[in-house]
Amino acid sequence: MQPVIRWFHQLGSPPTFDRFAARWAPIAYVLGLLVMAYGLYGALFVVPADYQQGDSFRILYIHVPSAWMSMAIFALMAVYAAIGLIWRIKLCEILAMACAPIGAAFTLITLATGSIWGKPMWGTWWDWDPRLTTELILLFLYLGVMGLYNAIDDRRAAARTAGFLSIVGVALLPVIHWSVTWWNSLHQGQTISLFGKSHMDPSMLPPLWAMVVGTHVWFIGSLLARARADNLKREAGKAWVLKMAGTE
């Protein structure tokens, strides 16, 4: 077997994953925080104020990356859940369930920052606008996945059931993404695009990309740390865990 494929297969075993996560989670945390610190410095001190919104627009450097993460994590959770359901890979079930609280936190940050920005700009904390409403539904879906996972005693059955809900919930993602296009929305349309031209001044973009990369890397660290904790909890009592804890 090829070394890369063999490494990938070995990663599915709980002890190997534990060592992998223990090594890479702190590195991802530090890297993510450094990149985010650079992005935040640029966002707060380097980038000029917007000609219409003044300094209020700077909250976008947190709002936009977390909004992207809130949707990307849901998709990733569904992919992990599907792999877990189809090939019965235990690690993928753990990873899928570890995605849910992180994604819920990003969704909450998105809603909170959007609301703080909305008060001076739109004159209201909240509006029943399609984009805002669908993002709120996404939060409820995250909470539903977490609630379902915690409500069933058998951990593997719980992960499969909650994972299936996340697969069903993926139907919401395109609705959130295109909600600003389909309906008349108070929320502005897409101004930043990965491919093609963004409708934003080039000088404002570098800190944003730094924040996007930073949140992704930080997410990897958080995912590994959470999955490691769940993995250890499930494997508690196995010889390798006892040996690691020094209680054998």
Partner 1 sequence: MMAAAAKALMLRDVRLLLRRRGDALQPALFALLVVVLFALALGAEPTTLAKVAPAVLWLAVLLAGLLALESLFRGDAEDGTLDQWMLAPVPLAWLVLTRTFMHWATSVLPLLIATPFLAELLHLPRVQLPVLLASLALGTPLLSLIGAVVAALTVGMRGSGILVALLALPLYVPVLVFGAGSVAAAAQGLDPNGALLLLGAGLVAALVLAPLAAAAALRIALS
Q: Taking the complex as a whole, how short is the minimal distance between the CB of residue 124 and partner 1, in angstroms?
A: 20
Using only the alpha carbons of the chain, give its radius of gyration.
20
- 137 versus 220: smaller Cβ distance to partner 1: 137
CB 223 within 8 A of CB 102: yes
DSSP letters, 18-68, are HHHHHHHHHHHHHHHHHHHHHHHHIIIIISPPBTTTBGGGGGHHHHHHHHH
Please give the C-alpha separations between residue 167 and each of 77, 82, 83, 121, 142, in angstroms, as whole numbers.
8, 7, 11, 36, 12
Q: Is 141 in the site for partner 1 (CB under 8 A)?
A: yes
Q: Is 97 in the site for partner 1 (CB under 8 A)?
A: no
Helices assigned H by DSSP within 88-204: 90-122, 130-151, 155-169, 172-182
Mutual angle of helices 172-182 and 130-151, in 10-degree steps? 170
Contact code string over 4-33 relative to partner 1, x by CB under 8 A: ------------------------------
Contact code string over 173-202 relative to partner 1, x by CB under 8 A: --x---------------------------
Which residue in the set 69, 73, 78, 85 belongs to the binding site for partner 1 (CB under 8 A)?
Answer: 85
Total Cβ atoms within 10 A of residue 189: 9
d(CA 57, CA 113): 11
Q: Is 101 in the site for partner 1 (CB under 8 A)?
A: no
Residue carrying structure tokens 């904390």: 125
Q: Taking the complex as a whole, how short is the minimal distance between the CB of residue 181 and partner 1, in angstroms?
A: 16
Torsions phi, psi for 183 (to 5 deg): -120, 160
Q: Is 157 in the site for partner 1 (CB under 8 A)?
A: yes
Which residue in the set 11, 27, 151, 245 belongs to the binding site for partner 1 (CB under 8 A)?
Answer: 151
Q: Is 164 in the site for partner 1 (CB under 8 A)?
A: yes
Torsions phi, psi for 196 (to 5 deg): 90, -175
Contact code string over 116-135 relative to partner 1, x by CB under 8 A: -----------------x--
Q: Is 143 in the site for partner 1 (CB under 8 A)?
A: yes
Q: Is 144 in the site for partner 1 (CB under 8 A)?
A: yes
Q: Is 165 in the site for partner 1 (CB under 8 A)?
A: yes
Q: Is 160 in the site for partner 1 (CB under 8 A)?
A: yes
Q: Which residues are near partner 1 by CB under 8 A?
A: 85, 133, 137, 140-141, 143-144, 147-148, 151-152, 157, 160-161, 164-165, 168, 175
